[in-house]
Amino acid sequence: MIDLLIKRGDVFTMAGDGVGYIGDGAVAIEGNTIAAVGRTAELEKAFPAKRTIDATTKAVLPGLIDGHLHTVIALLRGLGQDAPTWHEGVDPYFEQLSTDAVLAGAQLSAIEAIRAGTTTLGDYGPGMLITLPFYEKLGIRAKVCSLISEVPPVESILKEGELYPFDPSIGELRLRENLELIENWNGAADGRITVMIGPQGPDYCSRELFRKIKETAEKRNVKIHLHIAQGDREILQMKNRYGMRPVEFLADIGYLDEQLIAVHMVKCTDEEVERIARSGASMAFCPSSLIICDGIVPPADVFLRAGGNVCLGTDETSSNNGTNIFSEMKLGSLALNMKNQDPTFLPTWKALRMATIEGAKAIGLDHEIGSLEAGKKADIILVDLTKPSMMPVLRDPVRNIVPNLVLSARGDEVVMSIIDGKVVYEDGKITTLDESELLAFIQQTAEEVNEQASKEVRKRRTVQQRLTRENKY
């Protein structure tokens, strides 16, 4: 007798090169693993189950994957918008982030994510040692890294183009932290938590540190998660230090390969983006965040055209400004179509693949998740197609479910999330912990950070403070 049978659903396995639709479909789950996927009639006979879930008029999908986000600053939601640079608004708060704030940020992101169908977070620290015990308890899947930089906190006092100093002792410390993460958490929680390695950007680590990081990544067989060409400042640093642009530098130090998850790349030339794509590296595409922060669409179109593999990411709740992959599917598709003035550039089915199987591939988990196939981990969401925003449901000769999942769903149509075989979200509630307690802690912690930052915010007369005083906020 298996543990769980989901039956009578509109199942999208995402296997193969499309969406792998099975009408009147079923998924059999044993422990944390998918035992079988097929027609209800077949699976019902073959798999008597302890619990059966009727998924009539529900889309049954692999859980969505948020390939790149920093939960650590989620508490700063709505504090950096409407300004030439997002940093100016959030920096005074950022300087006051306590360990409680790091934890509360992870809680806020993870709760919001689960409520919108996300089952895996590609969380890019720092702060993971604070965050991971919470993820373990919550039951979410996470692929995380620490943030590695060897630049002391002097950026703000340097002149434009003046080289950041490197402090190898800081670099060593950060690398050691990431190593400890690998040692203590890679494969933890029955394999739900796995670890990557996270140099902050080409301009934040020395050649020597990059060499050690690559060596570690190869030895431990973990992915390298790296921001690339995030801004003009980085380009200038790289040119002044090495006489090279970031991508040239990364090629030079042997970083362009399948181990790499390349994030943002907004200041890359098309040729540089293509070079990364052709190397086998994946891209993390965070449309909302980059458009909100910089008014720029990351070059996922160029990356895809060059044959690259792309995952979606929410980046930061404080810039995005949410943790909702449904929203990124829609916005990602629209942003690329708009950029290319072509309504067919990123079809909805492709956006859904980027949020599932191709997202899993990007973060190195496609052997375990991203599609519903026998032997994979049971990360599954059920989306209620009888919600007004998903109606009507038509199946033949045109099946309208995929475009409606990508372009119409708000996130609250998700009625169940199963992660690693366990029902983590059901009937509008997270099952593994007391959400109202967490939300109270989140609010209280945010107020504490706010209290600490207030004086500095007033002193710096941030754009957002002016907007508040002018009654625009």
Least Å from the CB of residue 457 to its own copies: 5
Contact region with its own copies (CB under 8 A), list: 26-34, 127-135, 218-226, 402-410: 402-410
Binders of its own copies among residues 47 to 86 (CB under 8 A) are 75, 77-79, 81-84, 86
Nearer to its own copies, 259 or 348 (CB): 348
Is 396 a residue that touches its own copies (CB under 8 A)?
Answer: yes
Q: Phi and psi at residue 441, in whole multiples of 5°?
A: -65, -40
Nearer to its own copies, 32 or 324 (CB): 324
Nearer to its own copies, 433 or 439 (CB): 439
* Among 98, 216, 269, 340, contact with its own copies (rule: CB under 8 A): 340
Contact region with its own copies (CB under 8 A), list: 2-10, 33-41, 365-373, 400-408: 400-408
Is 118 a residue that touches its own copies (CB under 8 A)?
Answer: no
Is 151 a residue that touches its own copies (CB under 8 A)?
Answer: no
Note whether 467 and 82 are within 8 A (CB). Answer: yes
Least Å from the CB of residue 316 to its own copies: 12
Total residues in contact with its own copies, by rule CB under 8 A: 89
Is 8 a residue that touches its own copies (CB under 8 A)?
Answer: no
* Among 324, 356, 371, 417, contact with its own copies (rule: CB under 8 A): 324
Q: How far apart are CA 291 and CA 283, in angstroms?
A: 17
Is 457 a residue that touches its own copies (CB under 8 A)?
Answer: yes
Nearer to its own copies, 239 or 399 (CB): 399
State how far the alpha carbon of 188 is from the alpha carbons of 70, 73, 126, 342, 346, in Å.
Answer: 20, 24, 18, 44, 36
Is 398 a residue that touches its own copies (CB under 8 A)?
Answer: yes
Tokens encoding 51: 């619990």
Nearer to its own copies, 59 or 260 (CB): 59
Least Å from the CB of residue 293 to its own copies: 6
Q: How far apart are CA 57 and CA 386, in angstroms?
A: 7
Least Å from the CB of residue 184 to its own copies: 29
Is 111 a residue that touches its own copies (CB under 8 A)?
Answer: yes
Binders of its own copies among residues 287 to 306 (CB under 8 A) are 288, 291-297
Nearer to its own copies, 237 or 288 (CB): 288
Binders of its own copies among residues 154 to 213 (CB under 8 A) are none
Is 381 a residue that touches its own copies (CB under 8 A)?
Answer: no
